[in-house]
Amino acid sequence: MVIGIIEDDRLLNQALKIALNRGGYDTVCAYTKKEALTLFTGGENLFLIDIGLPDGNGISLYRELRRRGNVPAIFLTARDEEEDMLNAYEGGAQDYVVKPFSMKVLMKRIEVVMNRTGSEKEEACISCGDILLYPGRKQVIAEGKEVLLTAKEYQLLEYFMMNQNQVLTKEMILEHVWGLDGNFVVDNTVSVTVNRLRKKIEPDPGNPVYLRNVFGLGYRMENGKDIR
């Protein structure tokens, strides 16, 4: 199971990562709201979110992350105030932990949240034609066989599959997969990655039925019904 950590205190972030890894969880760490929106896809099993981030509020960040997937969250804060707690729960929090806290107690709270939300996220599946994508496992099946993708290929495919039949421009793809403005990304990165992805999921990469070019606009993922 994957837990996303969004905490700007680097020592605490590292301590959380170590404790969770020892507890058998995989972790992905972010230190700012911007990093979190770049790294997380909605396929995680749980978020640990600091309410006071340097570039935004953790509660508003969680509202944005929930649009990508209904992932449960435990909020971390240095403020033990009723208003903050109510705002966190209204924002969808499963739990609320005040710093400083016992790592053993936090691990038990994580276990409780995981048990309460069940294994639904792990087994959630997005389909498009003969392609199946399991966000919880980060696994892709095409025509009954597992497809091995790089991290960027997976993020790109998940973005397409969550927005089927919609035209996604190069700018939208750069923002979602590579960062807010695609800094340090060469001009043909999107087309190169799309072509690599086609070679792995298309029955005939030269005549794609899933990832279609939309002339002058970008790309659109379709369900491949015209496969022969």
Whole-structure pTM over 0.85, yes or no?
no
Domains, the chain, in order of start with CATH, read 2-122 (3.40.50.2300), 125-221 (1.10.10.10)
Residues 4 and 17: their CA atoms lie apart, in Å, by 9
| Better-predicted residue by pLDDT, 205 or 1 | 205
The amino acid that residue 193 corresponds to is T
Helix 151-161 with 189-201: angle, nearest 10 deg: 80
Tokens 């992350």 appear where? 65
Q: How confident is the model at residue 87, as a pLDDT?
A: 79
Q: How confident is the model over 98-127, as a mean pLDDT?
A: 80
Q: How confident is the model at residue 226 (pLDDT cuts 50, 70, 90)?
A: very low
- Out of 27-41, 87-101, 190-204, least confident range: 87-101
Q: How confident is the model at residue 227 (pLDDT cuts 50, 70, 90)?
A: very low
Please give the helix or strand (H or E) that residue 140 lies within, else none: strand 139-142
Q: How confident is the model at residue 187 (pLDDT cuts 50, 70, 90)?
A: low
Q: How confident is the model over 40-52, as a mean pLDDT?
A: 90
The amino acid that residue 170 corresponds to is K
How far is CA 172 from each of CA 110, 160, 169, 197, rounded to the nearest angstrom?
A: 34, 11, 5, 17
> Is the pLDDT confidence value at 29 over 90?
yes
